[in-house]
Amino acid sequence: MRASVVGSSNGVAAATPLQSSVALQAPSRERSTELRSCWYATELIASFPAIACSIHRLAHQSYRILVHHNAISPPAAASRMSSRFTMSPYHQLPLTLKDQRTLLEIENDLVEDTFRKYEQYVTSNSQVNMARWKHVKSKDDLHIYVKRSSTSGGRRCRPQCCRSDDADECNNGCIKPVVHSVGTFKGQLDDLMFGTVNPTDDIMHVKASYVHDYSDGAVLATLVRPTAADPFRSVTVKWLQIDLPLSYTKLIKDRDFLCLEASGTLHFANGERVGYLMLHSIDSPLVQPLPNVIRARHNITAFFRQIAPNVIDTFAFDSVDPGGNIMDAMVLPVCANALLSATNYVECGLMKKLTWMMQRRQTALRMGELAPVPRHEEVCTTCHRNLQPGYLKGLWKAKCKMCLGGLCFGCKEVKTISFLSPDRKLLRHKTTFCGACITMATRMNAMEVARDQATGFQAYNTA
């Protein structure tokens, strides 16, 4: 069967309506108005993971209230979580050559459009047009703007990918708030790009454990694979899902997406290197929403460049249509927080480098390619404090997992590292390192590690 895959009408809003509403099961009339308000607020605010942590306490309180009123019973969530990222509910998407060309054209149109805007923004002294954009939020040197409302309404969405400056405008019936992010944050561009590229189910699972963006997902089709020559270049079709708090009560429905995801690097006319990440919702009759799940739409195009040592400049657009009866005012903070979380990709890249370095060293030791370096565990490898047996020895003494050097309590650095078991379950280990090994991993060239990942080294798998 041929897979018909159609992109939305432009880079921001969807052309094809999906679910018309969210079938909420409101509490019975005997429940108080406060209880209903609490649940509706949870549904509206908790649509996406960028702000899920901030409403976790509210959801927990709502759960206790409903249990008290015998509205729900505690769920058996263990079996539900056991197959996350390991067992896709969909088969691989059989894309024809025409489908693949269409998707690559969509990616090229959207990336080139935003790339051109970014280059114009840089050459115009990085000034935001305040007549079109309204500032809504900032985090350090990263600023978020929302597109001001257009006075022209009633227009239909364009049937093809738009290239004009007004490509992100459609009528009020199909567009959600368009959010614009500009500014800088700390990090290295290659670390960020290494954190974004996740072309397989396993790497996507590891990335999600650091970025905390999606609760489940699967790669349904691969159009472009990373290579040693271009390790950050990837184009895939993915199914992604977000679990909302208390979705098992049937008062709230989870959201999922069918997206075209792409990453890579380009160059300005002056030769300056720029990285990008694109996520764009598409449609396919072969990938229908699961029961009790609302098919949402998410469109984001983000660019990054290194403008100074450990300083990344960003330029991004984001728009989310969560589906159902959710007001635009509730979607705006979701988009804003999603763009502000770009720094999570830098941390993800750093943790992946640290894991790679640790696994490479252990592999070399097993193969006899590297001789163990003798370490004095009686002395802290960082501050040289005496670690001889004494009072509270077990509490104060530790060992670096990388170099095996002894560490005192004050010098050890504990990182939570993600691994995959032989049956592809995610394992999160609190691992101790010394400062020297952390610094070594931080300074390591992420491009080298990405090339190793592209050629098949399984850095995240346990024996």
Do 337 and 355 share a domain, yes or no? no
**Using an 8 Å Cβ cutoff, are 241 and 217 in contact?**
yes
Per-residue pLDDT at 247: 60
Considering 295, 316, 341, which residue would you say is the last residue of a domain? 341
Q: Which residue has the higher pLDDT, 369 or 45?
A: 369
Give yes or no: residues 400 and 377 share one domain.
yes
**Better pLDDT: 259 or 88:** 259
Q: What is the DSSP string of 3-43?
A: ---EE-SSSSS-SS---------PPPTTS-HHHHHHHHHHH
Boundary (domain end) residue, out of 321, 341, 361: 341
Question: Would 192 be classed as within a structural domain?
Answer: yes
Full-model pTM: 0.76
Residues 222 and 183 in one domain: yes
Average pLDDT rounded to a whole number, residues 423-437 = 91
Residue-number span of the structural domain to which 178 is assigned = 6-20+78-341
Number of H helices and E strands in the chain, helices first, is: 11, 15
**DSSP codes joined into one string, 221-247:** EEEE---SSSTT-EEEEEEEEEPPTTG
**Both 262 and 323 in a single domain?**
yes
Alpha helices in 130-247 (DSSP H): 189-196, 201-211
Quote the pLDDT of residue 360: 87
pLDDT in tens, 196-254: 999 999 999 999 999 988 888 999 999 999 999 999 999 999 999 887 665 666 677 78
Residue 281 near residue 13 (C-beta atoms within 8 A): no
Q: CB–CB of 281/298 below 8 Å?
A: yes
